Amino acid sequence: MSRRLKSTLVVAGLLLAVLATLWMTIAGTERFTSKDVAFDIQSPQLVTVTFDVTRNVEDTVECAAQVLSEGKAVAGWKLVTFGPGESSSSSTTTPQPGADAIVPGARNGDQVTERAISQVRTNYQGVSGGVSRCWVLEK
């Protein structure tokens, strides 16, 4: 192998290593996480969905809470917004029908965990409820 080819391979390998490290750093940085906690079927038209979101304090995160039917079709859904800042809600943990309660939770550095208790109206009987997905609302 020529000296020039060896040098080219070393440079290409180093560049590949830097790009792989950069990709893993960016891909591994989650700005939020969500976790289903519970659901309670109140009636064929109303389900309470409870879930936690951990996010950066300065971020506004929106989540879609959904209720699924026995056939896994979406029976109802609702958007729930967290932040920015920390929730100072002192509301009851049982919201009025159609309303949401955001319950403050633990803070760890720049991260805050809050619990949503969301009343999701349904078009037909649901059998489960949880978070479909969440995303950060850009400023």
- pLDDT value at position 90? 42
Q: Which of 20-24, 92-96, 101-105, 116-120 has the highest mean pLDDT?
A: 116-120
- pLDDT value at position 22? 60
What average pLDDT does the chain have? 84
pLDDT, tens digit (0-9, with 9 covering 90-100), for 27-61 = 545 689 999 999 999 999 999 999 999 999 999 99
Cβ-based neighbours of 119, under 8 Å, separated by 6 or more: 42, 46, 47, 48, 78, 95, 96, 97, 98, 99, 100
Is the pLDDT at 69 greater than 90, yes or no?
yes
pTM of this prediction? 0.72
What are 59's two structure tokens? 């971020």
Question: What's the Rg (C-alpha) of the chain?
Answer: 22
Distances (CA, A) of 79 to 15, 33, 64, 76, 99: 43, 16, 5, 11, 11
Q: In the structure, what pLDDT confidence band is assigned to residue 115 with cuts at 50, 70 and 90?
A: very high
DSSP state of 113: E
Is the pLDDT at 129 greater than 90, yes or no?
yes
- pLDDT value at position 24? 57
pLDDT, tens digit (0-9, with 9 covering 90-100), for 80-109 = 999 887 665 444 455 555 668 888 888 888
- pLDDT value at position 92? 45
